[in-house]
């Protein structure tokens, strides 16, 4: 067994959290038609140097909680097939309307994205301009969330509101907030409306309605105990187009969170819901911009000052410099609001692993989803064991350090390690497409001289998740209208 000195162990626990950090970077200067959202990495120090201190255990804990939340959400979805069918039909009708209206347009939109690394979590941040005049807030970009909300200050009339206003001022004294009173386009939804009572029930709208025109309220809960409490409203969102001009989207559903708590939002002002659901921002914005959005994740060790974009609309194919785009079916509305794919199997070194076919059955008890909010890739037990065993066979000369760092099973002293000796991992989709991540995306850097296998086990039955580290250095296109997922190797440089 390879031993580590105490200093090396201490450094590991500070630096290993970079495993959960990825910067999304899509190049500036995208051609005809694209909306870009700039991502911010939470753990970057903005200096261009390697990361030096991160709360590893905290990040591992968040990933574990997110996996549990995904499992719970998928379990609930299995019992709501009728509602899911209705939801899919509404989304399709909405997309058809917008896409028909804009089918001749080639202009796309962009929102700035930067690394959120310095905030202590492995997620990406988007600069979001909302209101009239526009105010800037920074939101977590999450393909697994339905509701888009931001910390918000909204006053109203009456004694009860004045008292609540004082509390809100205390809540937000140290945070950036959206000032709803300063926006001429802010319109709350009546709590007596069918929109509040029925359409927003899945977004945790509350039943209370003191008077018919009182705002529709929500209490949005997350599995880790985090929560956001506030009011639903329609607002105007501003995009910068690739032509240099600006475009305003009106009547976009947002949440005005008067209070929020929990580690899920650390460093951000709220969450951008990019899931596939009736009222998610992804569906609303992508429908306006040719029915698609895309992003490119740079190396997860990239510093905070590496700029990138979340693109709504067509991306510039010339930017895919390292490989051609491949496409596979995007399975929508089956595994809740997640973006699922049909996988045939996984190979290591060109040899298909012995994994039961039901492991990948999205219509059964398995499946695979693409998730920007998860850092590591989680595999259900029937897939996890064969994948780990196959890769570990190539690392026999590197003893397991047996570090107590939660679900990461295998970390080793990487002195003398050459990634060219590791056989390539590949995800084989049912329609023939193949995704081959870089070795650094699954044999990941933890600290100087230490690497880990970047997989965590998930319970079976259940679904597996391709996290953002596995997605790095690839361009990913979510084509909602045509129900296909595109991907290609890319440097993701600006």
Write a three-state SS string for the chain: CCCCCHHHHHHHHHHHHHHHCCEECCCCCCCCCEEEEEEEECCCCCCCCCCCCCCHHHHHHHHHHHHHHHHHHHHHHCCCHHHHHHHHHHHHHHHHHHHHHHCCCCCCEEEEEECEHHHCCCCEEEEEEECCCCEEEEEEEECCCCCCEEEEECCCCCHHHHHHHHHHHHHCCCCCCEEHHHCCCCEECECCCHHHHHHCHHHCECCCCCCCCCECEEEEECCCCCEEEEEEEEEEEEEEECCCCEEEEEEEEEEEEEEEECHHHCCCCEEEECCCCCCCHHHHHHHHCCCEEEEEEECCCCCCCCCEEEEEECCCHHHCCCCCCEEEEEECCCCCCCEEECEEEEEECCEECCCCHHHHCCCCCCCEEECCCCCCEEEEHHHHHHHHHHHHHHHCCCCECCCCCCCCCCEEECCCCCHHHCCCEEEEECCCCEECCCHHHCEEEEECCEEEECEEEECCCCCEEECCCCCCCEEEEEECCCCEEEEEECCCCC
pLDDT (average), residues 164-183: 66
Query: Is the Cβ–Cβ distance between 141 and 124 less than 8 Å?
Result: yes
Provide mean pLDDT across the span 473-493: 90
Cβ-contact 99, 25 below 8 angstroms = no
- pLDDT by residue (tens digit) across 409-424? 999 999 999 999 899 9
pLDDT at 406 over 80: no
pLDDT band of residue 65 (cuts 50, 70, 90) is: confident
pLDDT, tens digit (0-9, with 9 covering 90-100), for 265-324: 778 899 999 999 999 999 999 988 989 999 887 777 676 677 778 889 987 665 565 668
Report the pLDDT value the prediction gives residue 374, as an integer from 0 to 100.
Answer: 85
How much is the pLDDT for 27?
33
Return the residue matching tokens 């907030």: 177
Q: CA-to-CA distance for 485 and 431, rounded, in angstroms?
A: 12
pLDDT band of 189, cuts 50, 70, 90? very high
Q: What is the pLDDT of residue 85?
A: 42
Query: In the block, which residue shows the tokens 């010339």?
Result: 318
- Which range scores top for mean pLDDT: 57-71, 117-131, 242-256, 347-361? 347-361
| Mean pLDDT along residues 333-360 | 97
Residues 118, 142, 146, 269: which is the catalytic one?
142
- β-partners of residue 380 are 458
Which of 115-119, 198-202, 251-255, 396-400 has the lowest average pLDDT? Answer: 115-119
* Domains assigned to the chain: 322-489 (2.40.70.10)
371 has catalytic annotation: yes
pLDDT at 430 over 50: yes
Predicted confidence at residue 73, as pLDDT, reads: 80
pLDDT (tens digit per residue) in 353-394: 999 999 999 999 999 999 998 888 999 999 999 999 999 999
Band (pLDDT 50/70/90 cuts) for residue 252 is very high
Rounded to whole angstroms, how far apart are CA atoms 310 and 294?
6
Work out the pLDDT band at 162, boundaries 50, 70, 90: very low
- Point out the catalytic residue in the list 299, 371, 445, 479: 371
**What pLDDT, on the 0 to 100 scale, is given for residue 275?**
96
Confidence of residue 3 (pLDDT cuts 50, 70, 90): very low
Give the per-residue pLDDT at 17: 37
User: What is the distance between the alpha carbons of residues 380 and 385, in angstroms, rounded to a whole number?
Assistant: 9
Dihedral sign of CA atoms 447, 452, 454, 457 in order = negative
For residues 445 and 207, the model is more confident at 207
Average of pLDDT values for 178-197? Answer: 96
Q: Tell me the pTM.
A: 0.82
What is the C-alpha to C-alpha distance for residues 475 and 462, in angstroms, rounded to an integer?
Answer: 27
pLDDT band per the 50, 70, 90 thresholds, residue 115: low
- CA distances 358 to 340, 343, 355, 463, Å, are 15, 10, 9, 11
Please check the confidence at residue 249 and state whether its pLDDT lies above 70. Answer: yes
The CA-based angle 68-40-42, given to 5 degrees, is 55
Q: How many residues are present in the chain? A: 494
Which whole number is the average pLDDT over 311-338? Answer: 83
The Cα–Cα gap between 1 and 409 comes to 15
What pLDDT was estimated at residue 296?
83
Q: How many angstroms separate the CA atoms of 347 and 428, rounded?
A: 8
Encoded tokens for 267: 């460093």
pLDDT at residue number 446: 79
Average pLDDT over residues 90-116: 56
Residue 340 has pLDDT above 90, yes or no: yes
Active site residue 445: no
Q: pLDDT band for 56, please (50, 70, 90 cuts).
A: low
- Parallel, antiparallel or unpaired: strands 217-221 and 227-241: antiparallel
Tokens of 324: 């051609």
Tell me the Ramachandran region of residue 131: left when phi exceeds 0, alpha when psi lies from -120 to 50, beta otherwise.
Answer: left
Which percentage of the chain shows pLDDT scores above 90?
Answer: 48
What confidence score (pLDDT) does residue 320 get?
62
Judge whether residue 154 has pLDDT over 60: yes
Tens of pLDDT, residues 24-47: 222 333 334 444 544 444 443 333
Q: How much is the average pLDDT of 341-356?
A: 98
pLDDT at 16: 40
Of the ranges 12-26, 72-86, 160-174, 434-448, the best mean pLDDT one: 434-448
CA distance 378 to 30: 32
Q: What pLDDT is attached to residue 112? A: 78
- Please give the C-alpha separations between residue 484 and each of 146, 185, 294, 309, 476, in angstroms, as whole numbers: 20, 35, 12, 21, 11
Residue 11 vs residue 381, higher pLDDT = 381
Query: What pLDDT shows up at residue 323?
Result: 67
């Amino acid at each position: 067994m390879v031993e580590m000195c105490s200093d090396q162990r201490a450094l590991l626990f500070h630096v290993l959290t970079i495993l959960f950090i990825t910067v999304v970077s899509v190049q500036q200067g995208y051609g005809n038609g694209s909306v870009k959202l700039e991502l911010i990495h939470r753990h970057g120090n903005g200096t261009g140097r390697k990361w030096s201190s991160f709360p590893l255990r905290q990040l591992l804990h968040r990933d574990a909680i997110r996996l549990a939340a995904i499992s719970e959400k998928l379990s609930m979805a299995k019992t709501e097939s009728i509602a899911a069918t209705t939801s899919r039909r509404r989304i399709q009708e909405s997309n058809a309307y917008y896409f028909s209206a804009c089918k001749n347009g080639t202009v796309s939109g962009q929102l700035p994205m930067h690394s959120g690394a310095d905030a202590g979590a492995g997620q990406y941040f988007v600069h979001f301009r909302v209101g009239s005049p526009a105010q800037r807030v920074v939101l977590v970009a999450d393909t697994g969330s339905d509701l888009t909300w931001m910390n918000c200050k909204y006053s109203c009339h009456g004694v009860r509101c004045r008292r609540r206003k004082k509390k809100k001022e205390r809540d937000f004294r140290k945070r950036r907030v959206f000032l709803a009173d300063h926006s001429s386009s802010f319109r709350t939804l009546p709590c007596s409306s069918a929109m509040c009572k029925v359409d927003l029930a899945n977004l945790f709208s509350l039943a209370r309605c003191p008077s018919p025109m009182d705002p529709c309220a929500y209490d949005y809960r997350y599995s880790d105990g985090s929560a956001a409490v506030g009011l639903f409203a329609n607002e105007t969102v501003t995009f910068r187009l690739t032509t240099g001009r600006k475009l305003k989207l009106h009547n976009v559903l947002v949440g005005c969170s008067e209070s929020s708590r929990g580690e899920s939002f650390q460093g951000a002002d709220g969450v951008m819901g990019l899931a596939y659901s009736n009222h998610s921002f992804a569906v609303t914005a992508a429908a306006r911009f040719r029915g698609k959005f895309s992003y490119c994740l740079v190396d997860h060790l990239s510093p905070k000052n590496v700029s990138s974009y979340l693109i709504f609309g067509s991306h510039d194919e010339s930017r895919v410099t390292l490989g051609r785009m491949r496409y596979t079916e995007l399975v929508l509305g089956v595994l809740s609001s997640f973006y699922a794919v049909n996988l045939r199997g996984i190979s290591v070194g060109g040899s298909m692993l012995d994994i039961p076919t039901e492991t990948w059955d999205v219509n059964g008890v398995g499946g695979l989803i693409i998730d920007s909010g998860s850092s590591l890739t989680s595999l259900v037990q029937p897939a996890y064991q064969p994948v780990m065993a196959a890769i570990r066979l190539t690392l026999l000369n590197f003893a397991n350090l047996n570090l107590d760092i939660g679900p990461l099973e295998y970390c080793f002293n990487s002195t003398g390690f050459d990634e060219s000796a590791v056989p390539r991992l590949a995800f084989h989709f049912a329609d023939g497409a193949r995704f081959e991540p870089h070795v650094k995306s699954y044999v990941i850097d933890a600290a100087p001289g230490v690497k880990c296998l970047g997989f965590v086990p998930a319970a079976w039955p259940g679904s597996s998740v391709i996290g953002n580290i596995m997605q790095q250095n690839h361009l990913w296109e979510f084509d909602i209208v045509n129900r296909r997922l595109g991907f290609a190797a890319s440097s993701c440089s600006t």
